[in-house]
């Protein structure tokens, strides 16, 4: 379904400056969500690049019940979509996201069902695990996911971006691990992933325990984001350019790199090397190695090299 949405949304673009501008305009389009989604706008701004836009601008992209479900559906489809090699996530409207929808989600969180404490607890556990999947699908997706943040990225927004592979932001961006302010220990990824993203344990603890805002410059110096752009248009152009670079490379190499980086993050060096050797005992047999090496030797751009779908 996703590839149908993407295909019908846009033709294939060339890579000229003009078409990049068209693509950026498309990425920041104010058209609504892509049915059947009600909170996400999905498009294909360039060949093999899928753009997922959080799209509830009037509610500052607050994460309502539909959003938590639709992200899972969307990323499961992207994982299977052989026409997609890389994903860009961004937010429509004035900010990236105001976090969990405090109005729509209150019922689920405050009035859990169950006949006694054990059953209530059981159901709450299932609920939390379900919501964790909303961002874990990003990490499980074999295609690299770039996220482009402008304005505020609050609460659940930080859970989301820490599950992404590359984080970019605008100079006006700020990040807030807001959960303690609403009486919660963040439970859908931030506390697990942020310490793996930012080198300083002390800084992670400070952000999570005080809920103070972190602005773009500190996000860059701490390693939360790898690039800061002057404004949203520049960021989306930068994101699209980076996505194009990734999409031009062998999908066997790119997806293997993502999966092994994540595996290594969670295992010892020895275990990571072992996993890598097992991975490459099959993946090294790809035609992509020969095709890529040939392009390098002939000083050709990989953008001219045709790789089979994966």
Ligand X SMILES: CCC/C=C/C=C/C(=O)SCCNC(=O)CCNC(=O)[C@H](O)C(C)(C)COP(=O)(O)OP(=O)(O)OC[C@H]1O[C@@H](n2cnc3c(N)ncnc32)[C@H](O)[C@@H]1OP(=O)(O)O
Mind telling me the catalytic residues? Answer: 100, 156, 159, 179, 187
**Which residues lie below 8 Å from residue 297, measured CB to CB, with a gap of 6+?**
none
Give the chain as a 3 state SS string: CHHHHHHHHCCCCCCCHHHHHHHHHHHCCCCCCCCCCCCEEEEEEECCEEEEEECCHHHCCCECHHHHHHHHHHHHHHHHCCCCCEEEEEECCCCCECCECCCCCHHHHHCCCCCCHHHHHHHHHHHHHHHHHHHHHHHHCCCCEEEEECCEEECHHHHHHHCCCEEEEECCCEEECCHHHHCCCCCCCHHHHHHHHCCCHHHHHHHHHHCCCEEHHHHHHHCCCCEEECCHHHHHHHHHHHHHHHHHCCHHHHHHHHHHHHHHHCCCHHHHHHHHHHHHHHHCCCHHHHHHHHHHHCCCCHHHCCCCCC
Handedness of CA 9, 13, 19, 21 (dihedral sign): positive
Residue 62 within binding range of ligand X, rule CB under 6 A:
yes
Nearer to ligand X, 68 or 229 (CB): 68
Compute CA distances 310 → 43, 61, 116, 284, whole Å: 20, 32, 48, 15
Which of these segments, 31-39, 92-100, 262-270, 285-293, binds ligand X (CB under 6 A)? 92-100
Shortest distance (Å) from residue 135 CB to ligand X: 10
- Residue 88 makes contact with ligand X by CB under 6 A: no
CB of 179 to ligand X, least distance (A): 5
Displacement of CA 97 from its chain's centroid (Å): 13
Report in angstroms the alpha-carbon separations of 261 from 64, 108, 137, 139, 165.
31, 35, 16, 11, 10
Report in angstroms how near the CB of residue 188 gets to ligand X at its nearest: 5
User: Cβ of residue 215: shortest distance to ligand X, in angstroms?
Assistant: 14
241-300 residues near ligand X, rule: CB under 6 A: none
Residues touching ligand X, count (CB under 6 A): 21
| Binder among 152, 214, 219, 235 for ligand X (CB under 6 A) | 152
Identify the residue among 45, 155, 251, 256 touching ligand X (CB under 6 A): 155
Q: Does 144 bind ligand X (CB under 6 A)?
A: no
Contact mark string toward ligand X, 110..139, x via CB under 6 A: ---------------------x--------
Nearer to ligand X, 128 or 277 (CB): 128
Smallest distance from the beta carbon of 205 to ligand X, in angstroms? Answer: 18
Pick the binder of ligand X from 46, 98, 149, 236 (CB under 6 A).
Answer: 98
Nearest-approach distance from CB 258 to ligand X, in angstroms: 25
Residue in 45, 91, 156, 189 binding ligand X, rule: CB under 6 A: 156
Q: Figure out which of the listed residues 44, 178, 220, 232 binds ligand X, where binding follows CB under 6 A.
A: 178
Binding-site member from 188, 239, 252, 254 for ligand X (CB under 6 A): 188
Least distance between ligand X and beta carbon 112 (Å)? 12
Query: Can you give the length of the chain in residues?
Result: 310
Interacting residue with ligand X among 74, 100, 147, 248 (CB under 6 A): 100
Which range binds ligand X by CB under 6 A, 36-44, 55-63, 83-91, 213-221? 55-63
Residues that bind ligand X (CB under 6 A): 59-60, 62, 98-103, 105, 131, 152, 154-156, 178-179, 182, 184, 187-188
């Amino acid at each position: 379904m996703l590839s149908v949405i993407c295909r019908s949304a846009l033709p294939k673009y060339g890579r000229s400056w003009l078409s990049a501008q068209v693509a950026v305009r498309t990425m920041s389009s104010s058209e609504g969500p892509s049915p059947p989604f009600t909170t996400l706008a999905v498009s294909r701004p360039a060949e093999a690049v899928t753009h997922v836009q959080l799209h509830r601008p009037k509610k500052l992209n607050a994460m309502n019940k539909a959003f938590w479900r639709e992200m899972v559906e969307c990323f499961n489809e992207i994982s299977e979509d052989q026409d997609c090699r890389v994903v860009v996530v961004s937010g429509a409207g004035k900010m990236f996201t105001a976090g969990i929808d405090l109005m729509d989600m209150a019922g689920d969180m405050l009035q859990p069902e169950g006949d006694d404490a054990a059953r209530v607890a059981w159901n709450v556990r299932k609920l939390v695990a379900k919501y964790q999947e909303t961002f874990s699908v990003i990490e499980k997706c074999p295609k690299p996911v770039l996220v482009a943040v402008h304005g505020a990225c609050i609460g659940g927004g930080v859970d989301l971006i820490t599950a992404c592979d590359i984080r970019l932001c605008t100079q006006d961006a700020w990040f807030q691990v807001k959960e303690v302010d609403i009486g919660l220990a963040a439970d859908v990824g931030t506390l697990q992933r942020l310490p793996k993203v930012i080198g300083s344990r002390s800084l992670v603890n400070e952000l999570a325990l005080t809920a103070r805002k972190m602005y773009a410059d500190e996000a860059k110096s701490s390693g939360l984001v790898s690039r800061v752009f002057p404004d949203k248009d520049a960021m989306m152009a930068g994101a699209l350019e980076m996505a194009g670079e990734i999409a031009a490379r062998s999908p066997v190499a790119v997806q293997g790199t993502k999966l092994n980086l994540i595996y290594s993050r969670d295992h010892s060096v020895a275990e990571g090397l072992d996993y890598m050797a097992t991975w490459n005992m099959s993946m090294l047999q790809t035609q992509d190695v020969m095709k890529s090496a040939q392009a390098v030797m002939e000083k050709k751009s990989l953008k001219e090299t045709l790789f089979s779908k994966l």
